[in-house]
Amino acid sequence: MKILIINGPNLNLLGKREPEIYGNRTFEQFLAELQAGFPQIEIDYFQSNHEGALIDRIHEAGFSTDGIILNAGAYTHTSIALADAIAAVPAPVIEVHISNVHQREPFRHHSYLSAKCVGSIVGLGLEGYRLAVEYLESYK
Ligand code: DQA
């Protein structure tokens, strides 16, 4: 089984960026542990700060992987193009947000992506990615 995790803009700065909101760990540290915890699953990772690159990666993986875990960062709240990309591919997509966007500024309360995703995990920190892998493992 193959799963792709996609992180969008500014998530390359996890560990340094607003640690009171996003924590102290880099995504690379977390990813190594996640991969070790699921040795039976091939977990790939892609991060980009560019909307088009995220769309290209969804197109590429969306026909060949068993699931995509997507934290599109702020594009979540702005990008109809990303929503269309999710809708265009057969792979199930799980939306993840590290912070509880509903406790934050009103502009973070709306997601263009949620309606096109199988489900969303919000506000559980990096644990949200692990839960999404677990869910996809049993997804039919
Ligand atoms: C985020 C929440 C978004 O509102 C924000 O723009 C991010 C990170 C999260 O993981 O909590 O960059 O997606």
Each residue's pLDDT tens digit, 102-119 = 999 999 999 999 999 999
pTM over cut 0.95: yes
CB 133 within 8 A of CB 91: no
CA distance 87 to 96: 17
Binning pLDDT at 50, 70 and 90, where does residue 140 land?
A: confident
Please say if the pLDDT value at position 52 is more than 90.
yes
Give pLDDT tens digits for 19-35. Answer: 999 999 999 999 999 99
Residues annotated as catalytic are 22, 97
CA distance 58 to 29: 24
pLDDT of residue 91: 98
Domains of the chain: total: 1
34 C-beta closer than 6 A to ligand 1: no
Three-state DSSP string of 38-76: CCCCEEEEEECCCHHHHHHHHHHHCCCCCEEEEECHHHH
Distance 74 CA to ligand 1 centre (A): 6
Mean pLDDT, rounded, of the chain: 97
Q: Is 15 exposed, middle or buried (0-12, 13-18, 19+ CB in 10 A)?
A: middle
What atom in ligand 1 is closest to the CA of residue 74? 6
**Closest residue to atom 1 of ligand 1, CA basis:** 73
For a mutational test of ligand 1's pocket, the pick from 49, 102, 107, 108, i.e. the residue with the most ligand atoms closer than 8 A to its C-beta, is 108
Range of the domain at 64: 2-138
Q: The CATH number of the domain where 75 resides is what? A: 3.40.50.9100
pLDDT of residue 129: 98
Please say if the pLDDT value at position 124 is more than 80.
yes
